[in-house]
Amino acid sequence: MATANKNLSNYDKSTLPKAKDFRFGVVVSEWNDTITEGLYKGAYDAFLDNEVQDSNIIRWNVPGSFELIYGAKKMLQTQNVDAVIVIGCVIQGETKHFDFVCEGVTQGIKDLNVQTDVPVIFCVLTDNTMQQSIDRSGGIHGNKGTEAAIAAIKMAFIRQQASLTHTYDSQKALSSGQLQIEDLPLKIGE
C-alpha cells in the first residue's frame, strides 16, 4: 500500500510487545539533516512512548546514507543492542548517483540482516523531491521514523522469543531423554 493512501505512523500501544528493557541503536545520516532529524525525533518519541529508557537509546551520526552500512555494522558489533535503526534521506539529483546510493544502502542493510543476529531496520527515504521527504518525516504522510521504531520493537521481541525457543527446545529434549548430548552441535569454547 502506498504511503499516500494511509498514514502508517499511527499505532496501538496495547498491541505492541513490552519494550522497557530493550536497548536500541540508531545510526543517523547527516545528509539532508532537517529530514533525518525529523525522522530521528519520530523514532525517539515512539521509543519513549513505549517505555524505552533514554539511556537505552544509543545514537551515532554518519556523513551520508551510504555510511549507514558501516555505522550499523560497528554499532551491532560493539554495543549490546536488541535492534538497530538506520536513518537516512536520499533525494534524486541530476545524476544516477541517487540510484547507486539507494541500491548500495539497501543491499548493505539487507546483508547485515542476513549475516548478523541483530535486526537492522531500514528507515531510509528514497524520494524524488524534498517535499516528499518532508511529508514522510512528520508531515501529511506521517513519520517513517515512528514506523521504524515500532518495527524495531517488534523485531527485538521476535529475536528475544526465538532465542528462548531455541534454548527451551534443546533443554527440554535433553531433560526428557529424547535427545542425547552428543546429538547437539558441538560448540567449542561456549
Residues forming the annotated binding site? 31, 65-67, 89-91, 94-95, 122, 136
Does residue 60 belong to the site contacting ligand LTPLIIQW (CB under 6 A)?
no
Task: Indicate which residue of 6, 13, 97, 110 is catalytic.
Answer: 97
Number of other CB atoms surrounding residue 10 within 10 Å: 10
Number of other CB atoms surrounding residue 1 within 10 Å: 6
Q: What order of strands is seen across the sheet that includes strand 120-127?
A: 57-62, 24-29, 83-91, 120-127
Residue 32, binding choice from ligand LTPLIIQW, ligand LW54GNZ2, none, Cβ under 5 to 8 Å by partner class: ligand LW54GNZ2
CA angle 25–30–34, rounded 5-degree value: 105
The least distance separating ligand LTPLIIQW from the CB of residue 122, rounded to whole angstroms, comes to: 16
Question: Please, are residues 79 and 22 in contact by the beta-carbon 8 Å criterion?
Answer: no
| The one among 90, 123, 125, 152 contacting ligand LTPLIIQW by CB under 6 A | 90
- Sign of the torsion angle spanned by Cα atoms 51, 154, 22, 46: negative
Residue 143, binding choice from ligand LTPLIIQW, ligand LW54GNZ2, none, Cβ under 5 to 8 Å by partner class: none
Question: Please, are residues 137 and 143 in contact by the beta-carbon 8 Å criterion?
Answer: yes
Kindly provide the b/e burial profile for residues 54-90, where b requires at least 16 CB atoms within 10 angstroms of the residue's own CB. Answer: eebbbeeebeebbbbbebbbebbeeeebbbbbbbbbb
Kindly state the helix (H) or strand (E) to which residue 130 belongs, with its residue range: helix 130-135
The least distance separating ligand LW54GNZ2 from the CB of residue 90, rounded to whole angstroms, comes to: 4
| The one among 5, 55, 77, 95 contacting ligand LTPLIIQW by CB under 6 A | 95
Considering the complex, state which of residue 125 and residue 152 has its C-beta at the smaller distance from ligand LTPLIIQW. 125
Of all residues in the shown chain, the one whose CB is closest to ligand LW54GNZ2 is: 64
Does residue 104 belong to the site contacting ligand LTPLIIQW (CB under 6 A)?
no
Interacting span for ligand LTPLIIQW (CB under 6 A) from 11-19, 34-42, 87-95, 140-148: 87-95
Residues catalogued as catalytic: 97
